[in-house]
Amino acid sequence: GVLKGKIQTLTAEIWARKGLVVFQFIISIVLIASVLVIYKQMEFVQTKNLGYNKENILIIQRKGELWKQEKLESFLDRIKNVPGIQEASIIGHNLAGRNGGTYRIEWQGKDPLDKTEFERFPVYYDMIELLGIQLKAGRSFSKEYASDSSAIIFNETAIRFMKLEDPIGTTVKLWGKERRIIGVVRDFHFESFREPLKPLFIWLAPGYTWNVMVKVEAGKEQEAIARLQDIHGELNAGFPMDYRFQDEDYLSLYSAERRVSMLSKYFACLAILISCLGLFGLAAFTTERRTREIGIRKILGSGEFGIIRLLTGDFTRMVVMAILIALPLSYLVTRHWLNGFVYHIRLSIWFFAAAGLLALLIAWLTVGLHTWKAARINPVKCLKEE
């Protein structure tokens, strides 16, 4: 009865240890798959064509004397002649989130109860060209046309929303004043990929702009910034030049996702470490218990490879069980996270296969040392010890 009780206790202990190792590996696999998916989504966010060019664009805050139109014109003219500077203009937006909208746009056929907000982009000449925004129809603003002070440009989403078949030359009302559509730009992302594309309009309004944007040639940033600071200091004495890069503003849209990405890596490493320790302890416990069996098998002619296969088989089955439970769980967790984005990568089987294979490899490496040492043991010595 005592022996039976001991065997039951030992069996329960072994099952508890195995269950814990399986659970640890389930957590590890879910975290490994999550890290892979988050990494690929963040890569997608940083490399996908946004519809405008965010690279090498310097944003200078408009302040002091630069609020005077003649001083601003002088500043723009002078910096355009600086070597390494390709274009300069002003905008009342930072292209990193919503800055403000209005529903006070009227067009023929508009539902009088509609309160859909259109994002507004007040700009100056050359801004569309500086950002590399593509025109789908019509033209951009030009100093050659005096009438452009009452012109307006929409994006594709806005034109679709207004159901305008042939928009160029059509008149709309903005804040009660008539404006003629001169162009339609292709859609571009000014919000994070969590948000759908929104209708927007662009109009000439230098008085409503607060950012000077400067397109700098790649590799010439430092020299250009030094020269810009000199010109800014001459025209705007007493006001330091506050500047940042457009791609920094864009990345700030994903600060929460970047934190999640970093934390998930730490947690995945920690989970793998804990899993390995659990598996290592179980391997040590198992090989110690089976020393006599290993000795007998070796005397009966079992080779080292056969012993290793015998000892690792049990651990492999445990990790395979963890993989089978973890893969659907990983899919649900990562799909839920990706569904927070309107624009995201497609979930591939390879994310989950890679996580499972990595877990299996880690398990084999963890128990490998123990099983190899056990397989090389002198059978006479281990039987004597028993």
Q: What is the pLDDT of residues 75-101, one digit of tens each?
A: 999 989 888 899 999 999 988 888 888
Could you read off the pLDDT of 213-247 as tens digits, one per residue?
999 998 888 888 999 999 998 888 888 888 999 98
More confident residue, 310 or 80: 80
Cα 50 to Cα 52: distance, rounded to the nearest angstrom = 5
The SS3 assignment for 194 reads: coil
Report whether pLDDT(294) > 70: no
Report how far apart, in Å, the C-alpha atoms of 119 and of each of 136, 200, 252 are: 19, 4, 20
Cα 169 to Cα 165: distance, rounded to the nearest angstrom = 12
Task: Supply angle C-alpha 269, 270, 276, rounded to 5.
Answer: 90
- Whole-model pTM? 0.81
Containing 152, the helix (H) or strand (E) segment is strand 151-155
More confident residue, 25 or 280: 25
Report whether pLDDT(302) > 70: no
pLDDT band of residue 383 (cuts 50, 70, 90) is: low
CA nearest 155: which of 141, 136, 180, 168? 136
Could you read off the pLDDT of 163-186 as tens digits, one per residue?
998 999 999 999 989 999 999 999
Q: What is the DSSP letter of 64?
A: G
CA nearest 184: which of 136, 150, 148? 136
Task: Supply angle C-alpha 174, 180, 181, rounded to 5.
Answer: 100
Q: What is the pLDDT of residue 173?
A: 92
Report how far apart, in Å, the C-alpha atoms of 235 and of each of 188, 229, 343 are: 34, 10, 44
Report whether pLDDT(288) > 70: no
